Amino acid sequence: MASNFQEVVLTSSPDGPITGYDSLSGVISSEFTGSRSPRNGLCVVGKKLVAVSHVSAETGLGSVHLYNWYCKTPFHNLAVPEPVAPLAATGDGLFLFVGGLSGQIHTLSLPSGDLVQSFPAHRNAVSCLEINDDESLVLSGSDDGTITVIPLYNLVSSSKRRKRDTILCRFVGHQGSVTSIYCGFGGGNYCTIMSSSLDGTCKIWSLMHGTHIRSIKFPGPMLSVLMDSTESEFYAAGVDGVIYKGALKASSRQAVEEARKIVPLKQKHYGPVVSIQMLSGGHNLATASEDGNVWVWDIQSGEVVRILGHEMKIISSLVVAKVYHDAESRVVTMKYTGGGGGFSTKELQRPIGVVELKQRLNVAVQDRVRSVTNLESAFGIYENLLKLVVKQAKGGKESDSSDNDDEGQDEDETENV
């Protein structure tokens, strides 16, 4: 059965609706109400849902709203331990990570919203969250200028670990709040990381070596950065409204200095640029500014080819979602390919009610929980066997002194692991 997808540009606001625009026509394709979202407080959950951080105007308390594509109002209000802003979700839509003001990353199981665990990743508020392409790592930035890299398994497992055993790597270098993180391809320890900061810099980091590679200085505070699909160029933007383009790779030694030049694109936003996203398989760029404008750029020419939204309310976040259309039924659906109780395109030819949606997703959650439990059991058996081997190798002497490390010692250890 033939089907095609539509790219939808979703924008959120601290005092307005979440609005979805067709990236090709610029027409409003969806709108969700009832949320006041802070910066980075918007993400697509799996292939079907949208999560939005919400701050109550009356109480100032935080929560997370879940939307599906059939209803303008949230079908679920997830309680969180504290006010939160940045969000990131796994591709199967079963886990949502939220960053709190206390510096903790809270893991929520979906769609129930149950709290799996809360991990103290930073000393100050979590300002941005990112999951790498193979979903093995969660990266978080903070107002304290640090970036923490944590294996995703450590955040979805209910097992208690010491802080030093949970964190894979910590990067220290920014002198201001980290505003965005972009993780390149390669997965695991092989990806390159870029970050932007209010200190007016974008930095490149090597996860394999746990080191800083390069710093790029800009005229003012930076709010967003990303690499192109080949990781040969990057785009960055900030409070001055300018979109900057720079090279990450040079073909020869002679081209190194030329590659280090940062070139501003031809047109300039009238307000701070809060987000940059790729469209059309890397052929277009979408940028959103605080003044309420979303521009679509042609990457090859560096010119604006389309404007989405005209002087609407303030924009706090922008994400891109792929909405799948069934040509026969003409019902707009989000393709969900998760295991255990997942939806097929054929099943979604008819609208699905909230109750039925919850029932089907609950099956997926139960399967995921069983898988995690089995994996934890396997790790426990492996650890016990390893201890026996070490004990035999040392002639029956076993040192457990490392287990007595306290939290203070964990905080004082080398930042780059």
Rounded Cα distance, 85 and 180, in Å: 13
DSSP assignment string, 372-393: HHHHHHHHHHHHHHHHHHHHHH
Segment 10-36, tens digit of pLDDT: 999 888 789 999 888 888 888 999 898
| Among the listed residues 266, 261, 231, the one whose alpha carbon sits nearest the alpha carbon of residue 246 | 261
Q: What is the mean pLDDT of residues 76-96?
A: 94
Segment 338-372, tens digit of pLDDT: 333 333 333 333 344 444 545 555 655 565 665 56
pLDDT band at 406 (very low <50, low <70, confident <90, very high): very low
Percent of the chain with pLDDT over 90: 50
pLDDT of 107 over the 50 cut: yes
Provide the pLDDT for residue 257: 61
pLDDT of 103 over the 90 cut: yes
More confident residue, 348 or 68: 68
Sign of CA pseudo-dihedral 388, 394, 398, 399: negative
Q: Number of C-alpha atoms within 13 angstroms, CB side, residue 396?
A: 0
pLDDT band at 238 (very low <50, low <70, confident <90, very high): very high
pLDDT of 167 over the 70 cut: yes
Rounded Cα distance, 245 and 356, in Å: 47
Rounded Cα distance, 97 and 99, in Å: 7
pLDDT of 197 over the 80 cut: yes
pLDDT band at 398 (very low <50, low <70, confident <90, very high): very low
Pick the range with the lowest mean pLDDT from 63-67, 101-105, 135-139, 353-357: 353-357
Pick the range with the lowest mean pLDDT from 192-201, 207-216, 333-342: 333-342
C-alpha 111, offset from chain centre: 18
pLDDT of 51 over the 50 cut: yes
More confident residue, 236 or 374: 236
Provide the pLDDT for residue 62: 86
pLDDT band at 255 (very low <50, low <70, confident <90, very high): low
Segment 268-294, tens digit of pLDDT: 999 999 999 999 888 999 999 998 889
pLDDT band at 96 (very low <50, low <70, confident <90, very high): very high
DSSP assignment string, 294-308: EEEEETTTTEEEEEE
Provide the pLDDT for residue 352: 45
Query: How distant, in Å, are the alpha carbons of 195, 379, 380 from that of 393?
Result: 45, 21, 20
Out of 122-126, 320-324, 374-378, the most confident range is: 122-126
Rounded Cα distance, 84 and 395, in Å: 51
Q: What rounded mean pLDDT belongs to the chain?
A: 80
Provide the pLDDT for residue 163: 75
Taking phi over 0 as left and psi of -120 to 50 as alpha, with beta for the rest, 395 belongs to left
Q: What is the mean pLDDT of residues 315-326?
A: 82
Write out the two tokens for 415.
């930042």
Percent of the chain with pLDDT over 70: 73
DSSP assignment string, 196-239: EETTSEEEEEETTTTEEEEEEE-SS-EEEEEE-TTSSEEEEEET
Strand partners, 30: 20
Provide the pLDDT for residue 176: 96
Q: What is the mean pLDDT of residues 58-75?
A: 88
Pairing mode, strands 28-32 and 42-45? unpaired
More confident residue, 99 or 71: 99
C-beta atoms surrounding 411 within 10 Å: 11
pTM for the full predicted model: 0.75
Rounded Cα distance, 10 and 182, in Å: 19
Provide the pLDDT for residue 190: 74
Q: What is the mean pLDDT of residues 240-259?
A: 74
Write out the two tokens for 164.
């030093």
Pick the range with the lowest mean pLDDT from 211-220, 255-264, 334-343: 334-343
pLDDT band at 183 (very low <50, low <70, confident <90, very high): very high
Provide the pLDDT for residue 310: 61
